[in-house]
Structure 1
Amino acid sequence: MSEEEKHSFKIQAVNRRFLPFDLEKEKEWRGPFFFVQGADCQPGLTYRWTGTRRVECTPDMPMKWDVEIESTRAIIEKLNQMNPKPKFFVVCGDIVDAFDFEEPFRSQQETDIKQVLSELDPTIPLVCVCGNHDVGDEPTRSSIQRYIDHFGDDYFDFYCGGVHCIVLNSQFYAHSSNVEDLKLQHEKWLDEVLQDKQSKHIILFQHIPWFLKNFDEEKDYFNIEISTRLRMLEKFHAAGVKKIFCGHYHRNTGGSYKSMEEVVTSAIGLQLGKDKSGVRLVRVTENDIEHKYFETEDIPANFL
């Protein structure tokens, strides 16, 4: 395999399946393993953030996102050094910052972040989850299709070592007026995949958290409207979901709904709180799912 082939970005979520994992073989429990969860690479946000809001891109702005590219590359280098390797690395949304109409920023960010992500050891599958910047705050068919063309399906499921992993497009629950038919397809698909309760654990991955700390908290920018939230949380709990991993908040937080935990992981890129750039390491055992956030420099070489 040439260096070019080794470091080429591969779309791995196709036809609602994640290609690196065999559907039937991975349904079997084979013992403890771990994976890595990150979120919000979002190249360019550091130079767009005023301290209270993001400044929209304009053609005369400099195309600059070295901070986030370096942060993402540092994470990749740490994961490549791990032994044993994680089962997979999942990025929970906002892989890019520029919206699809913010050109030429969007195209260049897609190119640059895919180059960095392609440096991940090829034995560590990359799971891409769409965020609001990836598909748009008010997604359209074309904005969703653009994400699919560059990063793979916007929602899908897979099995890994006896664990059922479900990747959602959370933007459907934030704003779907332009794509109601696609949201209905997503809902139908979700109801179907939640029927399979034979796995050891069920885990969800998405971008926008349902809530930040309390399941009945008020609606704000970083969570989902409360009636939709409660309906979906009850659906997930009834289906046996154990954990929901999210991003979007650029800070670490989380909470519980009944026996189900929601985990909100801070950003690989710009921080909006006191955390530093890093990722969450998640250890899966037969009876539990444990996790801990590590700043980049503290990511251990062995997590089992």
Structure 2
Amino acid sequence: MASTKYIGYVGGVAVAVGVGAAIAAAGQGTANADATDGGSAAKDAGTSTSVNAGPKRSAPGPAKTLSKINDNVAKVSAQVTKTAHSVSASISDSLAKPAAKPVTKVGSKPTPSPADFEAKQVDRLKKMFEPRQAAAQPTAPKPDSSVDAPVSRAAVQADTPAPTAAPAWSPNPFRTDDPTPTNEPELVQQLSSTLIGITPEALQPFTREGVEAGYRVSQMVPWLNIVVPATKIIPNLSPALQSGDDGARARQVIVNQLLITTQPGSIAFYGYDEVADLLNVEHPADDLKQQAFVTAWNILDPFHLAHVPDESGIDRTYAV
């Protein structure tokens, strides 16, 4: 629609230009004719008075002038029509051609939008952190078939080691499997081991029992039995001033060692162990001694000011 309107404007301008050119050409021809007629008339007047130069030149008629004007108008009109036709053809061709599409380079990538760029970065971060999270998660332990599988009673009894039977009682105090005391000082234990090592195998039980009896007798001698209790009293003096179980336990040890240091106390304590050793009833006698101290403390100290309930405060004579 716009192209047709534009073609009309161009055609109108061309026609107007042609008409104006024709009018201008016609006016010029008329002026030339008038000038020629006036000149010829003046010349005829001059010559008529003097000399007859010959026959007069005939003036051009109006028909000849009009034919010349028509020829000029026809030429100008043909030229204008040709020009208008070429202009309209070029405009139609330009409008008929499709709009050129923007040519994208082969190697260039389209610029992503802000939303696409943000989504791409979020996906990249997720991929970066997913392996770490998977590695950080603890793997579930595989079920152990040996735990869940039912075990028969016969298999349990076969795998469980049978308890070691206690040695049968023997009236011989010099037996080879006689238990070794554990409440003796380290110096006494080293002396016993040294003497047993240099003694013939047949006499080793006698050497062992002699060292144990000599130690117990030495602890019944007044003033000589102060050394061993002192090694247990001195380290507990500072803790005895504290409160709580630690302080009560330290006070209980001090009181027990002071009782053992006295003559009646040492005879009763070490004489009891020697008799149990000679009768080969070391472990039952040790259990009875521990229970006797516990009972005495619970009765004599009901407010638990100097002892810990259900504790004897003395070392066991033999290892359990």
TM-score (norm. length: structure 2) = 0.19
Between the two structures, name the one with larger relative contact order (CA 8 Å, sep ≥ 6).
1
Structure with greater helix share of residues:
2
- Which of structures 1 and 2 has the bigger CA Rg? 2
